[in-house]
Structure 1
């Protein structure tokens, strides 16, 4: 578990393809790596990665094909900057909100403009995530815990204060930037709880072109 409070910005130094998936190397000299152990979890742009090798100034992690397909990691290359946060400990302060490091979808920055000393961002989320995004609720963007200032359908607004802008990769966002999104885990569990006994029933497949073709409606 994480808080969404970024500790430092790291830099991807290598993305190596091995057996169909990827081994990632990230370096961040400002982080105290003496506290990191093999098997520890590190949120990297909001993606929970497991340390398989410690370096003097970073770590290596294996990345599955599923993670590559569901996050922005598939587009990373040497030089990509990423937000880093180590996992919570019992002594940690929960400064942001409860973050799992399991990305729910990829959003896109559609607007950015200055507002006094802050920056205003608009991000379009996948339609499937819109129901979990609430005005003044919490959302994780590339691992950063943020408050939703406004929401209109699948588009939500953020106000980024100077400190957050300086200490995270949000400083590099522009129109078209793709970002990892994780919705509030409480909303996820609440939805499941409200299903009641229906939660135990398998989901029925929806009507798709493939379904219609398979059942002889058209060729």
Structure 2
């Protein structure tokens, strides 16, 4: 195995953040796109929890947390200085996003599975996070942390994208101009477009896919 193997699912925000860091670093991996309802046995063998992304290194090391994959990739090459900003602030933003906002986001997106409250109720809970991001983006000139785009931006943007696409008309009309601009710039960037290319689900017999292309 000459390259690391990355198991991924195109739309998963955790997988997107992993691919973003790998693409930014320029480190080549073998990309294996999966189908969530039919996960490859090899992926489950190396990471029984069955979530993506999963990165298998040539030495047999398995990295199956998205942030750990981001840090691994950036340790190889961080030419855009994603890790140069205030690490404490970066870590705190990601922690709040992953452990608080994501819970409300899941209930907002799948409100039919959580009938104890309305979808609007869950969206209002999500909005509290967007208010904080709006203030930071205004304060730091379109990045979450002073000094330009950092790991915090690229770790959070896939989740804000997921939130926006639950009801895109509502999001586009909401009073979050800095968040909207931040997300729009991200979605139009070469980096994002590059990591969102569509691939057929991986099979052992198919030709190897090298990522980034």
Output the TM-score relative to the length of structure 1.
Answer: 0.26
Compare CA radii of gyration and give the structure with the larger one. Answer: 1
Whose relative contact order is higher, 1 or 2, with alpha carbons under 8 Å and at least 6 apart? 2
Structure with more of its chain in strand, by fraction: 1
TM-score in terms of structure 2 length = 0.27
**Larger helix fraction of residues:** 2
